[in-house]
Amino acid sequence: MARGQQQKRKKSFLGSVIELVVTVAIAVALALLIQAFIVKPYRIPSPSMVPTLAIGQRVLANRLDTHPKIGDVVVFHPPHGADPASPVCGSSSEGSGHTQACDLPTQAESGQTFIKRVVAVGGDRISIVNGHVFLNGVQEQAPYAQPCNTPGFCDFPQTITIPPGHYFMMGDNRDESDDSRFWGPVPQKWIIGVAFFTYWPPDRIGTL
């Protein structure tokens, strides 16, 4: 084989390798950019969203959507008050016992990532009876919610008002959810995104 042909083949092979490396690098960079700024996967760590989401189920969150509406399933950072074993409410009326849900978060943000459903937004008035939210005097229509049988989780009959720019979050499994009832509403700036699709396990693939 002529020397010129050998050099051409080497150059062609080297060019193919370089093209492959560049293609893979671009694909990885795009995937990282998408995950960082557009769509991010999350694994469900607890039973708080049963029956909608089971432990170990995986969802995708739209990071461009940080202004959810009532009924949306949302990924967010809770207040720091969610971190202690006994949650801390940022409201001075915390000493009122279980007559009202927590109406103010602590000022600090937690590093944890939670996923819950929005049940009220800023300006709404809510109370909770038998695990069901009464939103501005009207009981929520929540076929996704599990019955609530634990007194300390089910009844907060005194009405509270959600501060402007905040979201009140509750798990669908009202008996097994550590949520805004105990550590308060979530400021908009702590919203990561709205969960819109579940991709694992295969038998539960679909939209939310």
Q: Could you give the percent of the chain with pLDDT greater than 70? A: 80
* Residue 14 structural domain: 1-37
Q: Output 75 or 97, whichever has higher pLDDT.
A: 75
99 and 130 assigned to the same domain = yes
Task: Give 162 or 26, the one with higher predicted confidence.
Answer: 162
pLDDT, position 38: 82
Q: Which residues contact 144 (CB under 8 A, 6 or more apart)?
A: 51, 52, 117, 172
Same domain for 87 and 28: no
Are 26 and 91 within one domain? no
Q: Are 104 and 160 part of one and the same domain? A: yes
Looking at the structure, do residues 176 and 92 belong to the same domain, yes or no?
A: yes
pLDDT 10s digits, 8-52: 555 566 666 676 665 655 555 445 545 555 888 999 999 999 999
- Looking at the structure, tell me whether residues 198 and 151 fall in a common domain: yes
Tell me the β-bridge partners of 173: 146
**Is 110 designated active site?**
no
Residues 2 and 70 in one domain: no
> Same domain for 49 and 23?
no
How many CB atoms within 10 Å of residue 57? 17
The reply to whether 163 and 68 lie within a common domain is yes
Distance CA 59, CA 44 (A): 8
Are residues 161 and 86 located together in one domain of the fold? Answer: yes
4 shares its domain with 49: no
Pairing status of strand 114-121 against strand 138-139 = unpaired
Q: What is the pTM of this model?
A: 0.84
Is 180 catalytic? The answer is: no
Residue 23 and residue 107 in one domain: no
Give the domain CATH number at 106.
Answer: 2.10.109.10
Looking at the structure of the chain, the number of domains it has is 2
Q: CA-CA distance, 200 to 206, in Å (whole number)?
A: 9
Q: How many residues does the chain have?
A: 208
**Residue with the larger pLDDT of the pair 74 and 13:** 74
Catalytic residue among 40, 91, 110, 116: 116
Of residues 40, 48, 127, 180, which has the active-site annotation? 48
Question: Exposed (0-12), middle (13-18) or buried (19+): which is 175, by Cβ within 10 Å?
Answer: middle
Strand partners, 160: 126
How do beta strands 132-135 and 39-43 pair?
A: unpaired
* Cβ partners under 8 Å of residue 19, min gap 6: none
- Residue 168 vs residues 43, 55, 124, 143: alpha-carbon distances, Å: 22, 22, 9, 18
